[in-house]
Amino acid sequence: MSAEATNPEARSEARPELRRRGRTRLDLRRLGRAALLGPTSRDRLPDAIGHVAEAHRAHHPDADLSILRRAYVLAESSHRGQMRKSGEPYITHPLAVTLILAELGAETTTLTASLLHDTVEDTEVTLDQVREEFGDEVCFIVDGVTKVEKIDYGAAAEPETFRKMLVATGNDVRVMSIKLADRLHNMRTLGVMRPEKQARIAKVTRDVLIPLAERLGVQALKTELEDLVFAILHPEEYEHTRALIAAHAGERDPLPAIAESVRVVLREAGIHAEVLVRPRHFVSVHRISRKRGELRGSDFGRLLILVGENADCYGVLGELHTCFTPVVSEFKDFIAVPKFNLYQSLHTAFATSDGHVAEVIVRTRQMHRVAEAGVVALGNPYATAAATAAATAAAASGATAGSAEACADPYEERVDPTRPGWLSRLLDWQQSAPDPDTFWSVLRAELAQDREITVFRADGGAPATISLPGGASCIDAAYAQYGEAAHGCIGARVNGRLTSLTSRLSDGDTVQLLLAHDASSGPSADWLEHAHTPAARIAIGSWLKAHPDGAAATTTAAARAPLSVVGARGGGGNAVADLPDATVRLAGCCTPVPPDAVAGFVVRGGAVTVHRVQCAAVAQMRSLGRTSVAVHWRATADCRVTLLAESFGRPHLLADLTEAIAREGVEVVSATVEPPVEQRVRHSYTLQLPDATGLPALMRAMRDVPGVYDVSRA
């Protein structure tokens, strides 16, 4: 989208190894001349888009190319007279971007918008003209990739452009497809810019565009962008890696022979498969050299095995692990558990008899298309049911229908059915980002998360699952589920067990979030240390800024001593030890009551302490050689027990609990209330019951007190 690109020939000569193998590069000088000459006939396809038409028809044999001809004519005429810094006609840029997308299999509407993507920004063409000539879909996509005016936004123009583009991507992922292809071509032709400007563009590409390409699954663009950024930002390491690859080129490559051995094994097993040697790109070689040190010949590439059906993938895996020595630690199944960017494959590795280790990727041809092109391979997310049926029928017959039809008004409220969970989260939190700087910094932090987990809601609400970045805590889950209402969250149950909000979540966990009844409750400052999602961090930061005294109140409360209320009674209740004149005490650690099985031990002073037999202290007493004493219960039914009540903090809670206990006819021997922690309060009651059989009813009565969520024996 920039007219500042430079001579692509110089770039290609300086970095010939960055060319993707098998990918046709445009001869921009020839296309520039063809563009200036223009079409010779209204019905003839202009020579300048011959490459685009050929690549498009390879994926969409029945595509209508007339709309591409009209888009090219408008783009060429509107950009006529504009030149790139390399001296080439500017039209060569939208042509190159469109060819990149055509090679990935983009449908006709995307290619049409790609040809026009700079017209509204850099020429006199208006959005209304694009809509009138090409329809709402093309107009929406072109608007999505058009930069905001720097004269209006100043230094905030770049962040606000990305904000606008991401919002448009939430409605139609084809917007970001064009932006990625646009950035790839500009990176290919970056050579004559000033070094500082090259570095600035490369850093934005590294921090924002490459993570977006990864998340959208467009590996073909991501890998080349990584290599181009690597060459600019890390020239010394790049040169070292280039030297490694050049040295390997002069040696015998063991992978072709290994690939032939695999072909023989699969052919004998009756599995129809295509076995290819896939060279690693520069960044991949750099990473593996840092991981393994000295590289061997097989480290410079991987085997790619393409099959027809999912079941064949596992058949190939079985043959490889049977006929070769597998490296178990390298096995990953991304078919049963796909990555969050649609990627599916089996990864494995095996050792050969001569000591080489070959890494292998196994996938179907459809998986391969999606792995390379990601969302580009999904086509038009708003195709009508009829168009979808036609495309399915065409695919079954070996062809794919083009989709240039305009759909419903894209400016109406709509959600792309292919929108991934991470993009939905991004769109939610960006609305709360108070300024462009915050948006820009938080966006980079969000995109730095390279893993995603899914947790399940225990309450059965919709949606049933919550998508979060790897390393997320219960705090992140709370804000993802409740938004600003999560300010009152005071705890969580993870997989049925009570835990703190700072606990980290794992993929597949079931989460139940506990909200306080006190509307004035809010987060503490240390939540920011455990919040990973931008939505949580922005919401917490905003609340703390609006309530500067909130954190101080929590800290003061935590420093207070526990509140204790102690009654007059003590002793061993109705427990009797078989030791004359001995003082009997019920252990506070397990507070046994009839008819618990108990054990007694003589402690200092000759007293006998009574424990439940399953209490951990029993084993400790025996290991210390304490004298064991038989203990039994009196015939009377009264007993003493210690109960723990977990509750939300609120006014008058202690009074309500004490009243509930009194209504059951139970005497409070002692009570301790711990200071609130994250709005949770823990009460400990030692109680004298007139009848042990009333204990379950007492515990139910205490749980029924508003704010109490758990009551258990100590």
With cut-offs at 50, 70 and 90, classify the pLDDT of residue 523. Answer: confident
Average pLDDT over residues 305-317: 94
Whether residue 608 has pLDDT greater than 90: no
Q: What is the pLDDT of residue 453?
A: 79
Whether residue 258 has pLDDT greater than 70: yes
The string of pLDDT tens digits covering residues 214-238 is: 888 899 999 999 999 999 999 999 9
Q: What is the pLDDT of residue 398?
A: 40
Lowest-confidence pick of 319-333, 455-469, 565-579 = 565-579
Tell me how far the alpha carbon of residue 336 is from its chain's centroid: 18
Whether residue 15 has pLDDT greater than 60: no
Whether residue 102 has pLDDT greater than 90: yes
Alpha helices in 172-281 (DSSP H): 174-188, 195-204, 210-215, 219-233, 235-249, 255-268
By DSSP bridging, strand 628-629 and strand 598-602 are antiparallel
With cut-offs at 50, 70 and 90, classify the pLDDT of residue 96. Answer: very high
> Which one has a higher pLDDT value, 398 or 172?
172
Q: What is the pLDDT of residue 17?
A: 45
Whether residue 411 has pLDDT greater than 50: no
Measured CA to CA, the distance from residue 303 to residue 276 in angstroms comes to 6
With cut-offs at 50, 70 and 90, classify the pLDDT of residue 139. Answer: very high
Lowest-confidence pick of 271-280, 390-399, 426-435 = 390-399
Whether residue 389 has pLDDT greater than 50: no
Whether residue 476 has pLDDT greater than 60: yes
Q: Which segment, 65-74, 390-399, 652-661, 686-695, is predicted with the most confidence on average? A: 65-74
Lowest-confidence pick of 117-131, 284-298, 320-334, 351-365 = 284-298
The string of pLDDT tens digits covering residues 613-632 is: 888 888 888 887 777 888 87
Q: What is the pLDDT of residue 43?
A: 55
Catalytic residue among 107, 118, 122, 416: 122
Whether residue 350 has pLDDT greater than 90: yes
Whether residue 304 has pLDDT greater than 70: yes
Lowest-confidence pick of 93-97, 210-214, 657-661 = 657-661
Whether residue 89 has pLDDT greater than 70: yes
608 exposed, middle or buried (CB, 10 Å; 0-12, 13-18, 19+)?
buried
Both tokens assigned to 648: 């939300």
Measured CA to CA, the distance from residue 145 to residue 127 in angstroms comes to 12
Q: What is the pLDDT of residue 679?
A: 66
> Of all residues in the chain, what percent carry a pLDDT higher than 70?
79
Residue 580 φ/ψ, nearest 5 degrees:
-55, 140
Whether residue 702 has pLDDT greater than 60: yes
Q: What is the pLDDT of residue 9?
A: 38
Whether residue 361 has pLDDT greater than 90: yes
Q: What is the pLDDT of residue 549?
A: 67
Contacts of 615 (CB under 8 A, 6+ apart): 587, 589, 590
With cut-offs at 50, 70 and 90, classify the pLDDT of residue 115. Answer: very high
Residue 700 φ/ψ, nearest 5 degrees:
-65, -40
Average pLDDT over residues 688-704: 83
Whether residue 30 has pLDDT greater than 60: no
Whether residue 399 has pLDDT greater than 50: no
Whether residue 525 has pLDDT greater than 60: yes
Q: What is the pLDDT of residue 199?
A: 92
The helix-helix angle for 534-546 and 474-482 (nearest 10°) equals 80
Q: Is the dihedral of CA 344, 346, 348, 352 positive or negative?
A: negative
With cut-offs at 50, 70 and 90, classify the pLDDT of residue 462. Answer: low
> How many Cβ atoms from other residues are within 10 Å of residue 529's Cβ?
9
Catalytic residue among 17, 121, 207, 664: 121
> Which one has a higher pLDDT value, 87 or 66?
66
Lowest-confidence pick of 5-19, 115-129, 295-309 = 5-19
Q: What is the pLDDT of residue 5?
A: 38
With cut-offs at 50, 70 and 90, classify the pLDDT of residue 113. Answer: very high
Closest CA to 575 of 551, 605, 599, 606: 599
> Which one has a higher pLDDT value, 569 or 479?
479
Both tokens assigned to 589: 């650690």
Q: What is the overall mean pLDDT for the chain? A: 78
Q: What is the pLDDT of residue 469?
A: 82
Whether residue 306 has pLDDT greater than 90: yes
Residue 450 annotated among the catalytic residues of the structure = no
Lowest-confidence pick of 151-155, 309-313, 704-708 = 151-155
Residue 525 φ/ψ, nearest 5 degrees:
-65, -30
**Angle at CA 105, nearest 5°, toward 344 and 342?**
20
> Which one has a higher pLDDT value, 553 or 110?
110
Residue 664 annotated among the catalytic residues of the structure = no
> Which one has a higher pLDDT value, 560 or 352?
352
Strands (DSSP E) along 444-528, which ranges?
452-457, 465-469, 489-494, 497-499, 510-515
